[in-house]
Amino acid sequence: MNRRRFLVTSAATSTLCALHGNAYSRLVESQQAAVPKEELSPTLREKLRRDPLRPQFHLLPKANWMNDPCAPQFFRGHYHMFLQYNPGAAVWGDMHWAHAISPDLIHWKHMPLALSPTLGFYDAYGCWTGSVLPGGEAASILYTGVTKSSVELETIRGKGLREVQCLATSMDPDLRTWKKLDKPVLDGPPPGLKVTGFRDPCPWKDGDTWYLGLGSGFHEVGGAVLLYRSPDGRNWTYLHPLAKGSNPADTGEMWECPDFFPLKDKYVLLYSAKRKVHWEVGTFDRRELVFHSETRGLLDHGSYYAAKSMVDAKGRRILWGWVEETRSPAECEVAGWAGAMALPRVLTLGTDNELRMEVLPELQSLRSNVQTLQKAHNSGTVGAALTRMPIQNRAGEIVCTFKAGESAFGLELRAGGQAAPLFAMKYDGAKDKPSVTIDDKTLPLSPDRDGISTLNLWMDGSVIESFFDNKEAITARCYAPSSGNLHLTWTGDTNALESVSVSGVKLISNDRLTS
C-alpha cells in the first residue's frame, strides 16, 4: 500500500484498517500520542542485518516504510536528504520526514526525525512531500500538510482529506530541528478551481521573486502544475497552470511530485503520473510564465517514482527517486522494511534536447575486485571467463559494451540452481531502431558513432538499476532467493560482445542499516 493507491482506490481505507486494526484517522492520532521510537529492538536489528534482499549501498531508513525523496540539498558543507517515512510500520501511513546527512552523497548518517504530524494542527494527518524554499538566511522548506475536511473542502475526492501547503524553517547548522509556521501559506486551491489534487510543492526563485509549482490536475482533462508567485516566499498569488496535459490517457489527470529547473539552455519539467516519472524539455516563457514542451519521454521504465532534483557542490543537477516495492504489504511487514532511495543520477542534456543521465561517477570509489573480459569470438572462452567473474553478496556493478547487428544475443545474471535468471537483457536482431527488452519492457538503444552501446547495471540486494547509453533506465525489484555467488551468461552471437566488466561494491554500512 502506498499513497498513490490510497488516493485512487476506494477500498484503500478498509485495507489500512485490516493491516493496522484502526480507521486511518484513529491510526494517525494514536501514533501521534507518543514520540515514535527510532531505536530498533535487538531482534529486528539482527533480522535486518541478515536480510540478503536489503540494499547495502543505497540510502534507506533503519527500518519500516519509506517513499518520496524530499528537499534534498547541499547546506553548509553537507548534503541533506529528507524522505517520506512511516516510523511505526513497514507499510504506507502516518507520514513523517526522516533525515539523513552525508559528506559525499554516498555515505549517510541517520539524523532524528525532521518533521512529524502535529495533533490538531493543519498537518495532523501527515507531513507529505515537499521541497527546499530557496533564498533567505535560514533553511526553509515547503511541504504538503494533510488535515481532515468536509466534502466541500476536500482536495482528494471521496477521502475527506484536504491538502494545504506549509512552511518550516531551521536555524540549526545540521538542520536537526524545524519550526513550523503557525498557519499554511496556502490553505487550499484557488476558489472555484476544481482540481484532482493539490500537493508536492516545487518552488524556485528568479531575482527577487519566488515561484511555486504545485502538483494537480483537472478531472477528465489531464494533469497540471499550478503556478503561483510571491514577493517574500510566504504570501502567494495563483497565476495559471505552468503546464498541463491534454489527454488523461497519456499521463493521467493528476501530476504528482513536479520538479522544474533550468538545464543548459533549456528547462526541464518532471512529474510523476500513472506510476512512472515523465520528463519534458523545452522553454520557459518568462513573459507569459508558461512552459513550452519540445521533447518528452520516460525517466525510468521500472519501479521508480517521485523524482526530485538538487544542485550539488560542483554545480551538477543531481536526481533522486524512490525505488518502489513490488511485493505485497503483508510481505513488507514481515520483512520489517520497504522502499529505498535510488542511486543519485547526474542529469545532462543531449544535443537532441533529450534528457540523459548517469549514476554519480563518485560511486566508482566503492568498486572492488574489478575483473574485465575484452572481446572474444569463441563462446567457450566467453563462458569460461564469465564464470570466473562472480558477483558476491548480491552487491555489484556490471558494465557491458556490445554492438547490435543482425544477430540475436542476450545477457543474463543467474544464481546457482535457479531456473529463471535474476536479470535478463535480450536483443532480437532487429536492424531498424535497435532496442533491447528487459522483462516486458522495450528500451531503445542510442549507440555511439561506432555503433557500440553500453549497459551499466548496479545490483544491491533486491534492487537492480540498469542504464543503457546514459539515456534509458529501468529499475527492477528482484526478490528471488539466491545462495552463493551470481554469475553472468552470454547467449547468442558472441561477435556482438565487446567487453564485460564486473566489480564488487563495498558496503556503506557494516549492518545494512545505512548509518
The band of 4, judged by pLDDT with boundaries at 50, 70 and 90, is low
Of 157 and 75, more confident: 75
Which CA distances in Å does 301 have to 260, 397, 440? 21, 20, 10
Question: Is 16's pLDDT higher than 90?
Answer: no
Question: Is 473's pLDDT higher than 60?
Answer: yes
List the single range of 125-139, 309-323, 355-369 with lowest mean pLDDT: 125-139
Give yes or no: 68 in active site: yes
DSSP string, 386-437: HHTS-B-TTEEEEEEEEE--SS-EEEEEEETT-SS-SEEEEE---SSS-EEE
Cell 526553509 sits at which residue?
Answer: 140
Q: What is the mean pLDDT of the chain?
A: 91
Instruction: Give me the domains of the chain, ranges plus CATH numbers.
Output: 66-334 (2.115.10.20), 361-505 (2.60.120.560)
Q: State the Cα–Cα distance between residues 150 and 496, nearest whole angstrom.
A: 63
Per-residue pLDDT at 2: 56
Q: Which residues pair with 69 in a beta bridge?
A: 83
CB 199 within 8 Å of CB 211 = no
Per-residue pLDDT at 32: 40
Tell me: the pLDDT tens digits for 480-505? 988 889 999 999 999 999 999 999 99
Of 378 and 296, more confident: 296
Per-residue pLDDT at 384: 92
Question: Is 512's pLDDT higher than 80?
Answer: no
Tell me: the pLDDT tens digits for 451-471? 999 999 999 999 999 999 999
List the single range of 177-186, 314-323, 369-378 with lowest mean pLDDT: 369-378
Which CA distances in Å does 358 have to 425, 456, 501? 19, 9, 17
Per-residue pLDDT at 377: 75
Of 119 and 16, more confident: 119
Over range 425-448, report the average pLDDT: 92
Tell me: the pLDDT tens digits for 26-79? 333 433 434 455 678 899 999 999 999 999 999 999 999 999 999 999 999 999
Over range 113-119, report the average pLDDT: 97
The band of 5, judged by pLDDT with boundaries at 50, 70 and 90, is low
Per-residue pLDDT at 337: 97
Q: State the Cα–Cα distance between residues 165 and 33, nearest whole angstrom.
A: 24
Q: State the Cα–Cα distance between residues 229 and 56, nearest whole angstrom.
A: 42
Tell me: the pLDDT tens digits for 357-392? 999 999 999 999 999 999 887 888 899 999 999 999
Per-residue pLDDT at 27: 37
Question: Is 104's pLDDT higher than 60?
Answer: yes
Catalytic residue among 51, 68, 187, 259: 68
Tell me: the pLDDT tens digits for 201-260? 999 999 999 999 999 999 999 999 999 999 999 999 999 999 999 999 999 999 999 999
Question: Is 6's pLDDT higher than 60?
Answer: no
Question: Is 128's pLDDT higher than 60?
Answer: yes
Per-residue pLDDT at 37: 55
Over range 326-341, report the average pLDDT: 97
Per-residue pLDDT at 239: 98
CB 179 within 8 Å of CB 145 = no
